[in-house]
Amino acid sequence: MGLRLEPRLAPSARWQAVSVAVALLAALAVSALLLESAGTDVGVAFAAILDGAFGGLRTTAKTLAKATPMILTGLAITVAFRAKVWNIGAEGQLFAGAMASYWLYTLTGPALGMALLPLLFAAGFVGGGLYGGLAGWLRSAFRVNEVLTTVMLNYVILYLLSFLLVGPWRDQSSFYQQSERIDRAAWLPDLWAPGKLHLGFLVAILAAVAIHVVMNRSWFGYEVKAVGLNARAARFKGINVERTAVAVMVLSGGLAGLAGMIQVFGVNHRLESDISLGFGFTGIIIAVLAMLRPGWVVFVAILFGGFENGGIKMQVATGAPSAIVSAIEAITLLFFLTAAALTRFRIVWRST
Amino acid sequence: MQPFLKVDQVTKRFHKVVANDRVSFDVMPGEIHCLLGENGAGKSTIAECIYGFYKPDEGTITVQGNPAGLTSPRDAIARGIGMVHQHFVLVSSMTVLENIVIGTDAARPILDLKAAAARIREIGRRYDVDIDLEARIWQLPVGQQQWVEILKALFQGARLLIMDEPTAVLTPQEARRLFQIFREMTADGLSVILISHKFDDVMQSDRVTVLRRAKVIGTVNTRETTKEALTNMMVGRSVELRVKRDEHPRGAPVLEVRDLRAANDFGTEKLSGIDLTVHRGEIVGIAGVAGNGQGELFEALIGARKTRGGSIRLDGADITGRSPAEIQRMGMGYIPDDRFADGLVGDYDIQSNLILGHHRREPFARRGLLQFRAIRDFARKAIEELEIKAPSETTRTRSLSGGNAQKVIVAREFAQATKVILANQPSRGLDVGVIEYMHERLLEKRRNDFGILLASEELDELLGLADRIVVIFKGRILGEFAAGTADIERIGLLMAGQETAGKAEEIS
Ligand SMILES: Nc1ncnc2c1ncn2[C@@H]1O[C@H](COP(=O)(O)OP(=O)(O)OP(=O)(O)O)[C@@H](O)[C@H]1O
Ligand SMILES: [Mg+2]
């Protein structure tokens, strides 16, 4: 007797929908068991999660704000993975973008007001892009495995950050490792103030639309996907595989860098290591769950954002330990990843 | 006598495509049974049904009188059915012995390599397959890698061996050896299902079942039929097995290769000073057993492989060291031998593959954006003109049969090239109908004053098409023959590396 995985010839849309629904129900069932065993009222807990995530305009806006950096890092990973360039360094590129934009701010100060914003966005993109591009260049020029370089560059940038935060960029008045608070004039304006939904969300949505167009409608996206699917044939037909890999890493790093800039100027309002809660890594999970489709990345990232906020609300409402929230999150994730795998494979059960 | 295998009214569909339509035939013990049919006729599909990889939608498969109900290759092996795929599934860093034993019951519950080795040697002796069990797969020539697959099937107790295009990658000598092994097996009561497009193979079988458009046209005794009759059954019309090559004056040199040197990916020298000239309106044939540098030569010519010395001129311009993009822009087209690895992006649809290389240009792209209407129109025209059999232009090329995949490449390269066409083993694995078509198109390009460089292992193909034939052996050109004066015996000797044979015959 045994289980075996067989590749599906062509995953149907209906099967995909069914498997997602099943994953959701299964995750709910297991989470319910867990809550039940912790002595929590399951109904109340689920209602709190839903309420905390999407109950009302204000909470929804908060959820969208939470989702913003994850949309961008999800897109960053999507672009890279499409070319089979394994960028594990979106976290580092996010910080590079944050630092580049903060550096620009230290040079100009808040005097420019709103006119500074486009420059800050550009700096975030360029900072992340250069940092990603570095790994891409090492891969293309010296065949250095990008998984290794991007992971190591994550550490490099964090150490550089903490050096700057105890040194030149340190807020002298504070005990923590953090920069001075950014002047209100340079904050990202709110789209909807009560929900703290800032301009960054709009930028993330625009980025998703742009990436969708680039990947599916432009010759550049066509080349990126061709390189990912069959680099040999792509090379034979004149596509510069090395240059494409560098370009992909620049674009990927740039998107992650935007996330960093947005966190600094839209959420934390200062440069500190808390600007990312591992968004660079969550981006990998989001991109994979979204099957590397930009539209789905937005959707999945918003669900993730909702879960964060809903979890907090549930904790408050039921007094369940925070470990349970993390456990539920992980369980849901596992079921969804399984569902994603099952749309491409099927389990065959047989007795021998 | 009871047939070993009986296939009864089997139907298999992939979505809307009917790959097998009520297919019936049987295989007797001790028989070599050939499946013949055009590309896309459904041969591989019925083979995979018998092997339990696909589940038939309708119909039954009976093994030794018992309904098989096969749902996986494991079931098939348990009932004595083994299969050797065209692309071998061996682990190249492991030894022959390890490859034979992994995944079999010999590895369970405790792996007894010694006992296994003894049994494998016994099988080898019985069927006259002599192979070093300790050799690593990558060290073996393709022909012997195939023996490993065969030994593995026999080791698992196969009584019926399915071989999908086994000779496509073999030298003529290796193919001859393979049939000797088949004969030893059939003398022992084992059976072979053989899928092949080569009539040399087909005529050595006992019976032939011909498939056309998913249906069985008939089963005939090989001794009572002819090549022509089989071709007729297969294509539904008579096919010119020999092409008509009219006289055509050759023009100025368009591709000049001087003292070209290059290595393979592992740094081993594969081209040791190639000199070669192709003129406008001329087809130059490269005769030689695959692996003697043809692949490296073509890759160097299109700019995808670094050269270590020598020069390449295209229409007078030095293109040595230029990029594939530049060289293509200057008018070179390439039809590679491994269609799915080198020629196509398998997960892209037909239309996307047809524009590969011209995807940045008008009318396919404008201001950076792909123009899907223009792309679709172009694809529809190509599909109609070349009679590519596919549901639509958005069909993924991976699901196309070999012949139709080749047509996609031919359509693309013929549309893009303006001066020179390179073709490496272009008819490998293709049915006679498609080969005839491709030969006609190559001759048409010759009439249009293209220079054509054609490598093939099929001497008949070269003799029929080429104006001149050169022989390649271990990265060197050993001799050159004009079409009229070419001596098959001599070329054959040169292909085997017997250098002295052709010198006297050389022309300039
Ligand atoms: N996995 C698949 N999904 C969809 N269609 C398929 C699949 N496999 C085969 N087909 C289609 O089924 C038909 C039969 O294909 P099959 O591979 O059996 O042909 P064949 O006779 O082996 O051809 P060839 O000589 O080129 O190998 C073709 O039209 C092919 O496109
Ligand atoms: Mg086939």
The CATH number covering residue B106 comes to: 3.40.50.300
Render B347-392 in DSSP notation, one character per residue.
Answer: TSBHHHHHHTTSTTSTTTEETTEE-HHHHHHHHHHHHHHTT---S-
pLDDT at B290: 79
pLDDT at A352: 36
Mean pLDDT of B46-72: 87
Residues of chain A above pLDDT 90, percent: 57
Residues B411 and B461 in one domain: no
| Domain around B356 | 346-415
Residues B227 and B247 in one domain: no
Q: Domain boundary residue among B192, B208, B235?
A: B235
How many Cα atoms sit within 13 Å of A11 on the Cβ side?
18
Residue A50 lies in a domain: no
Mean pLDDT of B117-127: 89
Residues B200 and B284 in one domain: no
Instruction: Evaluate: CB of B3 within 6 angstroms of ligand 1.
Output: no
For residue B504, pLDDT over 70 is answered with: no
| Domain around A158 | 69-293
Instruction: Evaluate: CB of B209 within 6 angstroms of ligand 1.
Output: no
| Mean pLDDT of the residues in chain B | 89
pLDDT at B495: 84
Three-state secondary structure along B244-305?
CCCCCCCCCEEEEEEEEEEECCCCCEEEEEEEEEEECCEEEEEECCCCCCHHHHHHHHCCCC
pLDDT band at A7 (very low <50, low <70, confident <90, very high): low
C-alpha–C-alpha distance, residues B397 and A226, integer Å = 13
Instruction: Evaluate: CB of B400 within 6 angstroms of ligand 1.
Output: yes
What pTM was computed for the model?
0.85
Residue B129 lies in a domain: yes
Q: Domain boundary residue among B213, B235, B257?
A: B235
C-alpha–C-alpha distance, residues B358 and B329, integer Å = 9
Residue A24 lies in a domain: no
Closest partner CB to B365 (pick from A219, A237, A238): A219
Residue A142 lies in a domain: yes
A173 vs B109, which has greater pLDDT?
A173
Handedness of CA A53, A57, A59, A63 (dihedral sign): positive
Strand partners, B480: B470
Residue A341 lies in a domain: no
Residue B340 lies in a domain: no
Distance, CA B380 to ligand 1 centroid (Å)? 21
pLDDT digits (tens, 9 = 90+) for A277-309: 999 999 999 998 888 999 999 999 999 899 888
Residue pair A225/A215 in contact (Cβ under 8 Å)? The answer is yes
The number of the ligand 1 atom at minimal distance from the alpha carbon of B38 is: 25
pLDDT at B190: 94
For residue B506, pLDDT over 50 is answered with: no
Residue pair B353/B344 in contact (Cβ under 8 Å)? The answer is yes
Give me the residues of B, 1-30, that contact A with CB < 8 A.
14-15
Least confident of A141-155, A205-219, B87-101: B87-101
Residues of chain B above pLDDT 70, percent: 96
Map residue B53 onto helix, strand or coil. Answer: coil
pLDDT at B494: 87
- Whether B498 has its CB under 8 Å from any CB of chain A: the answer is no
Mean pLDDT of B399-403: 86
Q: Are strands B468-473 and B476-482 parallel, antiparallel or unpaired?
A: antiparallel
Residue pair B234/B36 in contact (Cβ under 8 Å)? The answer is yes
Please give the residue of chain A at the shortest CA–CA distance from B340. Answer: A233
Mean pLDDT of B194-208: 92
Contacts of B14 in chain A (CB under 8 A): 9
Distance, CA B124 to ligand 2 centroid (Å)? 28
Residues B227 and B105 in one domain: yes
Residues B53 and B189 in one domain: yes
Phi/psi at A190 (5° precision): -80, 140
Distance, CA A256 to ligand 1 centroid (Å)? 43
Nearest to B113 by CA among B128, B138, B134, B92: B134
Residue A134 lies in a domain: yes
DSSP class of residue B342? I
pLDDT at B500: 57
B341 vs B245, which has greater pLDDT?
B341
Place of tokens 């039809």: B335
Closest partner CB to B71 (pick from A10, A217, A350): A350
Instruction: Evaluate: CB of B23 within 6 angstroms of ligand 1.
Output: no
Residues B36 and B147 in one domain: yes
Interchain CB distance below 8 Å, A222 and B14: no
C-alpha–C-alpha distance, residues A101 and A127, integer Å = 8
pLDDT at B172: 75
Phi/psi region, residue A95 (left: phi>0; alpha: psi -120 to 50; beta: rest), is alpha
Taking only Cα atoms into account, the Rg of chain B, rounded to an integer number of angstroms, comes to 24
Q: Domain boundary residue among B235, B260, B295?
A: B235
C-alpha–C-alpha distance, residues B483 and A115, integer Å = 76
- Whether B109 has its CB under 8 Å from any CB of chain A: the answer is no
End-to-end, the C-alpha distance of chain B in Å comes to: 62
Residues B258 and B366 in one domain: no
Instruction: Evaluate: CB of B451 within 6 angstroms of ligand 1.
Output: no
| Mean pLDDT of the residues in chain A | 89
pLDDT band at A1 (very low <50, low <70, confident <90, very high): very low
pLDDT at B105: 67
Mean pLDDT of B36-43: 90
Work out how many domains chain A is built from and give that number: 1
C-alpha–C-alpha distance, residues A21 and A230, integer Å = 33
Interchain CB distance below 8 Å, A236 and B343: yes
pLDDT digits (tens, 9 = 90+) for B316-350: 999 999 999 999 999 999 999 889 999 999 999 99
For residue B508, pLDDT over 60 is answered with: no
Residues B256 and B389 in one domain: no
Cβ-Cβ contacts under 8 Å for B70 (sequence gap 6 or more): B49, B50, B51, B52, B55, B61, B76, B79, B81
Residue A303 lies in a domain: no
pLDDT digits (tens, 9 = 90+) for A92-124: 999 999 999 999 999 988 877 788 999 999 999
For residue B505, pLDDT over 50 is answered with: no
Residue A158 lies in a domain: yes
Nearest to B342 by CA among B301, B295, B307: B295
Render B204-257 in DSSP notation, one character per residue.
Answer: TSSEEEEEETTEEEEEEEGGG--HHHHHHHHHSS---SS---------SEEEEE
Closest partner CB to B370 (pick from A10, A219, A239): A219
Mean pLDDT of A233-251: 97
- Whether B360 has its CB under 8 Å from any CB of chain A: the answer is yes
Residue A317 lies in a domain: no
Interchain CB distance below 8 Å, A234 and B345: yes
Work out how many domains chain B is built from and give that number: 3
